[in-house]
Every structure is written in C-alpha cells, then in structure tokens.
A = this chain, B = another copy of it.
Amino acid sequence: MKITMAHGSGGRATGELIASTFAKYFNNPILNKMEDSAVVEGSGRLAMTTDSFVVTPLIYPGGDIGRLAICGTVNDLLMSGAVPKYITCGYILEDGADVDLLTQIVKSMAETAAEAGVTIVAGDTKVIEGNGGIYINTAGVGFLPDGINISAANCADGDAIIVSGNLGDHHAAILSTRMEIENEIQSDNAPLVEIVRALKEAKVELHAMRDVTRGGLATVLHEFAVSSGSCMELWEEKLPVHPAVQGFCNLLGLDPLYMGNEGKMLTVVPKHDAETALQAIRGSKYGEHAAIIGEVTHTENGNVLVHTKVGGVRTVSELIGEGLPRIC
C-alpha cells in the first residue's frame, strides 16, 4: 500500500494508518489514550531536545531512519547528563511512501526505544506531495539528577579527551550505500545509555559530553574549544578508526575527523579520572573501542590541533560547506 494525500486528512484514512503502524508498535498506556497531549510523571529539572531526520537511504547497513531518530534524541538527552524518559514522533510522509517500509521503520523505532529505555508518548503524521520520502522528527524529555553540571564550557587545562569508539562508521555506511560500493561497513547508530550510566556509576567527574554526529569529531571539538576558550590537542595515532572505514576514506580522500557517527560520544574528564572513564566506557555496550585521544591545553585557544603520525602539527579547521548532505 502506498501513502496518499488522504492519509494526511486527519479523518478515517489517517486513523487507519495510525492503527496499523504507530499504535500497533508503539503500544503503551500513555500513547493509547490518544488525546492531543500525553500526560507523564515528572519532577525536578528536565532536559529537552529535538531533532529531525532526513537520511537517505531510509534503510542502510546497520540501521534505518527509525533507529536513527530514536538514538539521535536519546543521545542528545544523555549528553546533558539527563536520564531519557519520553519521546514524541512527528512524521512527514511524501505521497507514494510505501506503507510496508513505514511499518518496518516504525517497528525499528519501537525496538530501539525499548533498548534505550524510553517511552514514545505522542505522535503526529502529515502527508505532502513528493516521491515517497519519509522524514521523522523526534523530541525528547529526560530527567536531570541534582548536582549534574555538564557543559562544553567546563573543559579545563589538562583534561583528557576520550572518544567512545571508531570514527566515521555511519557516514561511511551511508556513502557506501549511495555509491553502491560493496563493503563490510555498518552504521554505528546506537543509544549511548549504557556508556553514560557506566560513567556515572564510576563516579567520574564529567566536564563535557557530546555525541559525534554530522560534522564529525572536528565539529564537536571546535565547539568545545570555543565554548571553553581552550585548545583541543589530539594525537592522530590514537584516533580509533575501523580498518574498513580507513580504507574507504583513503580511497576517496576523506578525513574521518569530519565524518559523522550516530553512536559515538566524546567525553572530557579531569586527567586523574581518565583511566577510570576509559574502562567504564570500554566495559559498556557500544564502547569497546573507546580511546583517550587527546588533551585540553592552552596552546592555541579556540582551536583544534592534531599531532600527526609523522611528527607534525596541523590545525583542524571548522567544517565549511556541505559535508555529506542527508546523513541523518
């Protein structure tokens, strides 16, 4: 079955679509009330975020737009130190979208939400003219425990910079699929719930955290350098990159530092906590390839420097231009 403009009417066709897809897989007592707003329990400080997902292709090695839409918002909440709790989903469907494909994506969202421990509490569907495209917005609410203060501005001299795993996997998987290159590269899209929980349980002093998405590690480090008025110094030989991704990058002249992930995060912690943090991440699901990749200094405030394998130092410039469009 294909989506038609009638599915966007708000009348019977919309109701039938919702019943056979969203309500079926997102089935929970809060959503099932079908009121215009979901009522949930809350208390204390809240974290809120939103993200729209326009990735193409909709399904790719290692994931799909649905898994991505849950992980993206869950990970953004986690990075504030919050425990993600509730997710809303807004679908913009193009005329001609395949309902079986939509159903597969919705099922994937339900599974990823269960893995991440969040509940999908509200949704909306609109239909526009087009060629069968599917766009998804998710917004999320998490609860922030007292005493947590994580911010890019907290990066301090001597802090260790830790990345939770291999760089560029998602970007390389999307690009490989679009170019129809056969390889073993899989997207890393995953919720980082376990990693963050392990870091908190290890009582690590978390100065800053950020998930590595479009724009890559370079973009995150630039934001950290500017926000904290310090310098981010990396050691090139420490950067974890899967051999297949490195080979792909060499072939196409790409730099893993600018390539997007969807299941990796950067953590900045005091030097004395660095080894504890590294072990906490490595012991968690999706964290096995974590590495300490650099240090916060004042060598060149506001900039990102890399000590190259051949002994030089280069400045990592901010991403200018388009990178790879529609990666997330």
A-side interface residues toward B, CB under 8 Å? 4-6, 8-13, 33-54, 75-77, 79-80, 82, 86, 88-92, 121-128, 133, 135, 137, 139-144, 151-152, 210-211, 213-215, 219, 223, 227, 260, 318-323, 325-326, 328
Assembled-state Cα–Cα distance A86/B286 (Å)? 33
The 9 closest A-B pairs by CB, nearest first: A11-B319, A139-B139, A10-B215, A50-B88, A10-B214, A137-B137, A37-B80, A36-B76, A42-B46
From residue A259, how far is it (CB to closest CB) to chain B in Å? 12
- The answer to whether A8 touches B325 (Cβ under 8 A) is yes
Which has the most chain B C-beta neighbours within 10 Å: A35, A51, A260?
A: A35
Given the known A-B contacts A9-B321, A325-B5, are A38 and B47 also in contact in the complex, defined by CB atoms under 8 Å? yes
Q: A10-B219, A50-B89, A128-B135 are in contact. List 8 more A-B contacts (CB 8 A).
A: A9-B325, A10-B213, A11-B320, A37-B49, A37-B82, A41-B45, A48-B86, A50-B122
- The answer to whether B151 touches A9 (Cβ under 8 A) is no
From residue A7, how far is it (CB to closest CB) to chain B in Å? 8
* Residues in B neighbouring A122, C-beta threshold 8 A: 48-50, 139
- The answer to whether B46 touches A39 (Cβ under 8 A) is yes
Assembled-state Cα–Cα distance A140/B88 (Å)? 9
From residue A5, how far is it (CB to closest CB) to chain B in Å? 4
Name the residue on B nearest A45 (C-beta).
B39
- The answer to whether B126 touches A52 (Cβ under 8 A) is yes
Name the residue on B nearest A77 (C-beta).
B37
* Residues in B neighbouring A320, C-beta threshold 8 A: 11-13
